[in-house]
Amino acid sequence: MSAHADTHAHDDDHVHHHKETFVTKYIFSQDHKMIAKQYLITGTIMGIIGVMMSLMMRMQIAWPEEPNALFEALLGKWAPGGVMDADIYLALVTIHGTIMVFFVLTAGLSGTFSNLLIPLQIGARDMASGFLNMVSYWLFFLSSVIMVLSFFVEAGPAAAGWTIYPPLSALPMAQGGSGAGMTLWLVSMAIFIASSLLGSLNYIVTVINLRTKGMSMTRLPLTIWAFFVTAIIGVISFPVLLSAALLLIMDRSFGTSFFLSDIFIQGEVLHYQGGSPVLFEHLFWFLGHPEVYIVLLPALGITSEIIATNSRKPIFGYRAMVASILAIAFLSTIVWGHHMFISGMNPFLGSVFTFTTLLIAIPSAVKAFNYITTLWKGNLQLNPAMLFSIGLVSTFITGGLTGIILGDSALDINVHDTYFVVAHFHLVMGISALYGMFAGIYHWFPKMFGRMLNKNLGYIHFWVTAICAYGVFFPMHFIGMAGLPRRYYTNSNFPLFDDTHDANVIISMFAIVGGIFQLVFIYNFAHSIFYGKKTVQNPWRSNTLEWTAPIKHLHGNWEGEIPHVHRWAYDYSKPGHDDDFVPQHIPLKEGEEELQH
């Protein structure tokens, strides 16, 4: 690997006399910082699409009978006269889930910040392979385009839920969306997985091999630990989803029976024999559950960094934080069955998965308590990034606690697939990860664009979002506990649930307000890229290496030598220093001891 380091050292001189063209700089760039921006912008656009879909669903749930001009404008033939079609409602459910989980919170979050921060924070000139990194982004872009295009096929996009359980997803006669729409979904996801694997391999190799002198694993910022472990989980679990998708393609197009058996539909018996949909559920959730942590861990890593920096205090319990990331990663691969307690799987397996699932609460609790203790006796700089990080801890606790109910197989019987589940996972992974992403954007925007975001708009963005997020998802638990199933186009066929309707209207109002206020962020983001106030080199007075790099982006990150590392990333307010921060590249003073961790 020393060979690698050498070539990078050489790169450095030849960057200066090598003129970049527009195409190599902005489009087919191999520079990790540009790729990070590409991921961020693509992810944000996908996020806007995903949020729009959720708002349409909420309007449909709250006002199911009223013709809505917005539906007609956005959905066209799927909402004749402004009345939404039942199939397209399920398509919105499906594509909203897919886009938010994979395209926004996996690629948009991990892709952006792993790319931006791994080389900068470990002290490397770039990723181990800039070329693979570029390919990874463009595959992601291609899969995004295919996913969006699936809305324009004749019979509509995939509509079997983001979990695409067969036989519903396998049989075009079962549902309009299971025709060409589902084919595009599968193709898009296969490409997405390829992109994700290339990215993850790159992150792993870079973290292992390209750390600067002195950057031992125990001196890594927690962001890097989180990205590193996330990449490992991705490499372990994404291929399993790829295999499930390929087998499903076989069943759909080549007549095999991996997941199908004994089916009679629309007056005819199909030839499938001997397969099992439960097998698909196993394969899907073997990715599907770790995916939750692929989404969440980077957000927690970002939060750890931001909370420490803005508390002007070391992160409390660094070792415990690393250990809990590792524990969560390990446990995340052996809990997938808790999505399948009532799938017809052997009840004994249900017991095993209950046990492993509830164990995850332990490292999660450690993380939450450590965040709170980090705040204690700090000197909190309540920047927008810090607000979003504190918000993350809040929703992570609220959403995580109800996991105790859902992870318990006995209790799951009654709340499975109700709005209780929707509330739980949106808070604990959706909102928390989104907050992590926002926190990251507010914190590293100056690093990415050399300018600052407007903080006042940031405060408005945070407070309205925080109130709306609770306004949407907190009452939703109670609707779920009243037994209301999710994924119903309208609840008007069940007088039993009429008394939950008012709550649904209130939830939708919060959702609409919250959704609209994201425009404040979009405006702030787009405007500040060009017109934001110029930043200084280290605006947050942070310890990590990325702030030692010049504001103007260089291919190779540092002019001259890469800084060496002499201490961990969390020497904030260390006694014996005048400043309340001591960056990692500052050598220990005479007689100063490095903290044992």
Partner 1 sequence: MTAFLTIIILLFIAVAIWQMVKIFDLAQVSSTTIPGVATDKDNTFNGYMMIGFLIFIYAITIASFWYLGDLPLMSNAASEHGPGLDNLMIISMVIIFIVQTITQFLLHYFAFKYKGEKGKKALFYADNNTLEAIWTIIPVIVLAGLIIYGLFTWSSIMNVDESDDPMIVELYAQQFNWKARYAGEDNVLGLSNVRLIDNDRANILGLDESDPNAQDDIITTELHLVVGRPVLFKMRSQDVLHSAYMPHFRAQMNCVPGMITQFGFTPTITTAEMRQNPDIIEKVANINKIRVENSEAIEERGQEVRYEFDYLLLCNKICGKSHYNMQMKIIVETQEEYDAWIKEQKTFKNSLIN
Q: Binders of partner 1 among 374-403, rule CB under 8 A?
A: 375-383, 386-387, 390, 393-394, 397-398, 401-402
Shortest spacing between CB 161 and partner 1, in angstroms: 5
SS3 (DSSP) at 327: helix
| C-beta atoms surrounding 503 within 10 Å | 17
Query: Which of 438, 486, 447 is CA-nearest to residue 465?
Result: 438
Shortest spacing between CB 364 and partner 1, in angstroms: 9
Shortest spacing between CB 415 and partner 1, in angstroms: 9
Shortest spacing between CB 398 and partner 1, in angstroms: 6
Shortest spacing between CB 12 and partner 1, in angstroms: 30
**How far apart, in whole angstroms, are the C-alpha atoms of residue 423 and residue 516?**
20
82 burial level (CB within 10 Å; 0-12, 13-18, 19+): middle
Nearer to partner 1, 68 or 200 (CB): 68
Nearer to partner 1, 234 or 317 (CB): 317
Cβ–Cβ < 8 Å for 572, 312: yes
438 binds partner 1 (CB under 8 A): no
Beta strands in 446-531 (DSSP E): none
Among residue numbers 266 through 325, which ones bind partner 1 (CB under 8 A)? 267, 269, 274-278, 311-320
Among residue numbers 37 through 96, which ones bind partner 1 (CB under 8 A)? 59, 62-63, 65-70, 86-87, 90, 93
Of positions 172, 214, 239, 539, contacts partner 1 by CB under 8 A: 539
Among residue numbers 200 through 219, which ones bind partner 1 (CB under 8 A)? none
Residue 269 DSSP one-character state: E
**Which residue type sits at 318?**
Y
Shortest spacing between CB 241 and partner 1, in angstroms: 18
426 binds partner 1 (CB under 8 A): no
Of positions 15, 249, 326, 372, contacts partner 1 by CB under 8 A: 372
230 binds partner 1 (CB under 8 A): no
Cβ–Cβ < 8 Å for 556, 125: yes
Stretch that binds partner 1, among 103-111, 132-140, 260-268, 298-306 (CB under 8 A): 260-268
Look up residue 317 and give its two tokens.
């319990």
Nearer to partner 1, 9 or 86 (CB): 86
How many residues sit in the footprint of partner 1 (CB under 8 A)?
Answer: 157
Of positions 7, 218, 253, 414, contacts partner 1 by CB under 8 A: 414
SS3 (DSSP) at 127: coil
Shortest spacing between CB 338 and partner 1, in angstroms: 12
**Which residue type sits at 554?**
L
Residue 105 CA, chain-centre distance (Å), reads 2
Among residue numbers 125 through 164, which ones bind partner 1 (CB under 8 A)? 160-161
Among residue numbers 544 through 573, which ones bind partner 1 (CB under 8 A)? 570, 572-573
Beta partners for residue 264, in sequence order:
269
What's the length of the chain? 597
Which residues are CB-contacts of 376 (< 8 A; sequence separation ≥ 6)?
A: 316
Shortest spacing between CB 407 and partner 1, in angstroms: 9
* Cα end-to-end span (Å), the chain: 27
Which residues are CB-contacts of 280 (< 8 A; sequence separation ≥ 6)?
A: 165, 166, 244, 247, 248, 258, 259
